[in-house]
Structure 1
């Protein structure tokens, strides 16, 4: 992409672009008008972040393409394309719209029993469900003209599925059910998923703002014929901070290609899945030109570079770097009669490179993780269809209902409910026993075995690795009397009596001590099962990303202790300070006042007596984490100890604080007692 645009959503009154997957290790924004990703236009919301917490993005925009012939005319409807989404009064290329109804939003469901979105009919741990159509030539509720759009009058029912299990947390399955709502048949149909994968670390190369430095030209593409998957990777790896893949895999369709009843296809069938790339919005490149009209777009859907023998070696530049966009398409499909429905299914897959290959290499070894997650996506889609031929054999029908059940994966116990209590150089971890009553839907019995406790210390320098990769096992406890685990028993972690925290009953406790006050730690507790040796199924564990929480150890509320400051002296550019340009850094600094009473006012002075800043601390209603650093590096709920409060080393006039000695007072608002102290700032 070449320019900066203003994102104007197609229907401001009812558009829902606030949903993004967060149940696994990939955060993909999903909308109710056919667009995937944010285009980097929604501050603070991931477009397609992987791993979660890394600030490594993998997608600009993506969307469904549908092409065919209707009433003698060849045309294409596009959910997204390599153009500006729109300016005031018009939009182009974003041709699906939702209705004006305020209820026409994304519905979330979950198969997790302890989720607030639990629904017994949910498919995955996080389902997003919505409907839209291509029938409008103007955006409902706004009136903006959708330029050059000739509708088929198709309705799309869209569902996305995401899971939390470690082997299935790096992909999102995207299902489109497409119904012909017109009075005319649609023939010679091709369907595809267009997307612009763009990979980079937003801390290192911001996507917006005055310091925007995102590199659109340092990515390379390729296609894996055997699994119908196109992918992209960052050619320079952003100096080790973005060495990962972004991919879309075609999983299957109903009907199959050319299916006129009972037909079948396999991925080895040639000519059905097409791979196309072109340079973003480039109409002059003789080989990689972007399609400019429906005729050219249909041609892209119907034919790909992989139609040519030895295309990787005979088409110059096709494996090089550029601002590539990609289209994975399939067809032709049989004629879609009025009120008939077809289905196409894809998987958005992300993976970190494996091994020690350099960032510009794309070897079978470096794709190890990508292929592993892509194959699990296919396994989930196939479900009972073990050989992937689209036909349910009697030997595959595990529930004997004569219906091909898809989206099936092994299931671990649910993650327990967890609470953290931060203290001086320690964090107490409490959790419930909800996982122990879980009945495995495949085995039909309880198979809980034990718990694992994880911890990570997060800094600005390591968070690009992602939370999942930073978590380290610090404790494991399991039942006795079987061959799974260490048979430690649960006695060490069992509380003498259950305790109630925030209305929830907790039965277990583990203390993580010898921690550094003021540093950010993340904790999680997972549950694992016994496995099923008879069915060759290993022990499964719930994802540590399901219940992780952030905590900052520090002193609890004090009444008579001496108030202090740490670090003292404060030295700029410390490891726990934020990163960025000079202006951004000044607002991402952090120091703490500690041993504070429950409610107090902190006043900071220069040596001349001028007031620099005032801070109100209330342990009962605030966390002490109300500075910009936390918004950038510890977003969401955090657990503080109550007796500390952070300060960003910025004055009440929003000015950076200079090197020097400063004074402070802390007035206890309950007793009226005042304490005094001083600290040194070195820049």
Structure 2
């Protein structure tokens, strides 16, 4: 069931009178309309641990599976249920993979003994075995997920981001997940630990460090940001033992190639690159430091796998977490190691015990880039972090990045690094801190201290114990960045533009970037020869996270055709980007092209749409919802009998819109009449913003999301026939005869759930429950298919597989439609299969 809009948990009804009104009202609802027009971007818990591949970052060009037990990727061609979903597929929908699996490694000395807990290849992490320990999905713009620099206190309790998204009441206020920080257009959150008994049962040699890992992954849908997936690990000591000499790392089996090549993982090369690269920001480029392990297919698999894939270490906690621990330099990459084939550890193979794992994590060495193609695994580690006490935490941030070539890979990694670096912010509200390039507070005693080597004034100050002096600790980096001649500078740029403590902004906010509004929630509905696309106005009411300005301009409706489900792709994860085509573009009437008004009512040629018009006394019900909200604006209105929960959610958003309350929505509808029944289609509604002239007037179309940022899959279908229009002679099979050529338009690649990828459609079925049986010409039963036409669907699909699990052979087949409603006659037809 879709979660309701809920700013604060708990339910209340506005008054006894209103509750009675809502509970006693009479409604007439048709089955075909009993659902909300809009899909929420959160999911209900499914399984623990998540093994089925149901959480894939799929709004960008890089698609990757996420689990809640320490593994990233889908282990293609393994026995895991998730093996068919994208592992690290680039471009999206292509079937070209670059990762088998990856997992976090945490090494530490516990009572002086080296211990390492691994996510992969030994899966020693596990979630709690309860209904809350799943993966949670959210996005930047979620009403519970506000963060700085916008309003961060979602539940208005004076504290912000105190209740991370995990299904628990972390702040003990009786509410669940009501105030957390959400980043990106798609964010997955989960938690797991190394001290559950299941880990020791599977891996008897596992020595528990007793740590909990919170895993947060982010992806953005805008074209300039959609070639990477960021991940933030927060590692917490939940045991009573003091941990020392901690190392954090990522182990990855990076396999590059097309899934349809059985040994595509055997001809890869891997390497490591660190250096300075230019990241685009605004109208200029800024230098960023990259630390990037990468893989590519040596021969490109005949031109099918020519891209590059890598893992960039973006940042981590400071190595010392007390006193005057400097954030600069803030990077401590310790090790880059390469493992090959089935070699023993001493000859370059994988470590097999904790002593060997800790040795390679702590060894300050970087292996050479490989010069021969092969099957390689890599390890990146950072540290040491000198101590970790009970309930203290460390953070490690990475980015999984892809690119068309090595330069493109570094461009995209630099973009990820730039977003991680974020922006400077005045956290303490004191205009005298974070000025003149002095970003770091240091506490005395200090002797002969020069707080700013960059200001040209030599000072030797003595700071007494307890006093604080703001200092420029990254002066050298500022000078290096400003003097960089490879990155384009904006005209008139000064040294101050490259300093980190200016304008009172003493604090750094991570994961912040200016960008286009999030895509709207979208739903599609099939019809006979048409598809209706519905969406809400989320994009119109969401301000830019950095500027605070709502700069929405318009919507574009896109459609993807000719999709055939390449190996490793699915309707849940979308098509290749090259398949998308623009259907229509409309915007605000403000002088920015195309200047075609989308806000006119649907019946007047616009897109604005009023949902639930079939409800009897619709306006009275909305008014009752309004009265309840006036009494308790932060609570949900209880759903009365006779309505579905989705209908109540929609009614509440309409009531909130009328009242001007947060959570109100407008709705839009676009109808595409150019489709053919039975063919697969994807639809997307893309939001874009506008740029401004120097006077703040909208000037031109600005940035936009890609169609992959929010999409829906659909197949148009024949409508079911009511008794007074039902004709037995109009029930027929498509195609007929059934040949490979005739089915080519809708043939899909085979999967475990659809082994043939083929289908025959029986159309124009009765508007009631029926049973359709398929026979050979000799009268042998081949398959039985149930059908319910009461919801308007007049099509049943058969995948040409018999009830015994075998694909059928050539021949003449009969079908019999047996309606349960006596108002419809039994129907018999036939079709021919030619193999």
- TM-score, with normalisation over the residues of structure 2? 0.63
Aligned to 2:549: 445
Classify the secondary structure of the residue corresponding to 2:596: coil
Distance in 2 (CA, whole Å) between partners of 1:438 and 1:167 is 20
Q: Which runs of 5+ in 1 are unaligned?
A: 1-11, 83-92, 206-212, 313-317, 354-365, 622-640
Q: 2:57 aligns with which of 22, 33, 38?
A: 22
Aligned to 1:89: none
Q: 1:326 aligns with which of 375, 378, 390?
A: 378
Tell me, yes or no, if the aligned pair for 1:250 and 1:345 is still in contact at 8 Å. Answer: yes
Q: How far 1:594 moved relative to its partner?
A: 1.8
Distance in 2 (CA, whole Å) between partners of 1:557 and 1:114 is 40
Tell me, yes or no, if the aligned pair for 1:35 and 1:79 is still in contact at 8 Å. Answer: no
Q: How far 1:298 moved relative to its partner?
A: 3.2
Please give the per-residue CA displacement for 1:144-186, whole angstroms capped at 9, x wherever unaligned: 1644444444444433333333333333322233345667665
Q: 2:142 aligns with which of 110, 113, 123?
A: 113
Aligned to 1:343: 395
Tell me, yes or no, if the aligned pair for 2:144 and 2:179 is still in contact at 8 Å. Answer: no
Q: How far 1:195 moved relative to its partner?
A: 1.3
Classify the secondary structure of the residue corresponding to 1:459: coil
Aligned to 2:740: 572
Aligned to 1:499: 610
Aligned to 2:675: 515
Please give the per-residue CA displacement for 1:44-66, whole angstroms capped at 9, x wherever unaligned: 46362435544544433322223
Distance 1:273 1:539, change over 3 A: farther
Aligned to 2:266: 217
Aligned to 1:275: 336
Alignment of 1:54-65 (within 5 A): 54-65=94-105
When Rg is computed on C-alpha atoms for both structures, the one with the higher figure is 2
Tell me, yes or no, if the aligned pair for 1:111 and 1:120 is still in contact at 8 Å. Answer: no
Aligned to 2:316: 253
Q: How far 1:229 moved relative to its partner?
A: 0.9
Distance in 2 (CA, whole Å) between partners of 1:334 and 1:538 is 51
Tell me, yes or no, if the aligned pair for 2:116 and 2:357 is still in contact at 8 Å. Answer: no
Q: How far 1:188 moved relative to its partner?
A: 4.5
Tell me, yes or no, if the aligned pair for 1:228 and 1:273 is still in contact at 8 Å. Answer: no
Classify the secondary structure of the residue corresponding to 2:520: coil
Distance in 1 (CA, whole Å) between partners of 2:302 and 2:566 is 13
Tell me, yes or no, if the aligned pair for 2:72 and 2:101 is still in contact at 8 Å. Answer: yes
Q: Which runs of 5+ in 2 are unaligned?
A: 1-45, 146-164, 166-176, 276-289, 426-436, 440-471, 479-495, 613-645, 655-665
Distance in 1 (CA, whole Å) between partners of 2:700 and 2:326 is 33
Tell me, yes or no, if the aligned pair for 1:259 and 1:333 is still in contact at 8 Å. Answer: no
Distance in 2 (CA, whole Å) between partners of 1:507 and 1:324 is 51
Classify the secondary structure of the residue corresponding to 1:440: coil
Q: Which has the higher contact order (CA 8 A, sep 6+)?
A: 2
Distance in 2 (CA, whole Å) between partners of 1:650 and 1:218 is 37
Q: How far 1:402 moved relative to its partner?
A: 3.6
Q: 2:416 aligns with which of 359, 377, 390?
A: 377
Aligned to 1:608: 778
Aligned to 1:209: none
Distance in 2 (CA, whole Å) between partners of 1:337 and 1:652 is 60
Distance 1:53 1:152, change over 3 A: same
Q: How far 1:327 moved relative to its partner?
A: 0.7
Classify the secondary structure of the residue corresponding to 2:418: helix
Distance in 2 (CA, whole Å) between partners of 1:577 and 1:682 is 15
Aligned to 1:470: 579
Distance in 2 (CA, whole Å) between partners of 1:485 and 1:326 is 50
Tell me, yes or no, if the aligned pair for 1:111 and 1:119 is still in contact at 8 Å. Answer: no
Aligned to 2:808: 657
Tell me, yes or no, if the aligned pair for 1:229 and 1:328 is still in contact at 8 Å. Answer: no
Tell me, yes or no, if the aligned pair for 2:219 and 2:229 is still in contact at 8 Å. Answer: yes
Q: How far 1:68 moved relative to its partner?
A: 4.6
Tell me, yes or no, if the aligned pair for 1:455 and 1:524 is still in contact at 8 Å. Answer: yes
Tell me, yes or no, if the aligned pair for 2:117 and 2:206 is still in contact at 8 Å. Answer: no
Q: 1:77 aligns with which of 111, 116, 128?
A: 116
Distance 1:440 1:390, change over 3 A: farther
Tell me, yes or no, if the aligned pair for 2:211 and 2:236 is still in contact at 8 Å. Answer: yes
Distance in 2 (CA, whole Å) between partners of 1:399 and 1:663 is 79
Aligned to 2:70: 34
Tell me, yes or no, if the aligned pair for 2:116 and 2:358 is still in contact at 8 Å. Answer: no
Tell me, yes or no, if the aligned pair for 2:125 and 2:199 is still in contact at 8 Å. Answer: no
Q: Say whether 1:161 aligns with 2:270.
A: no
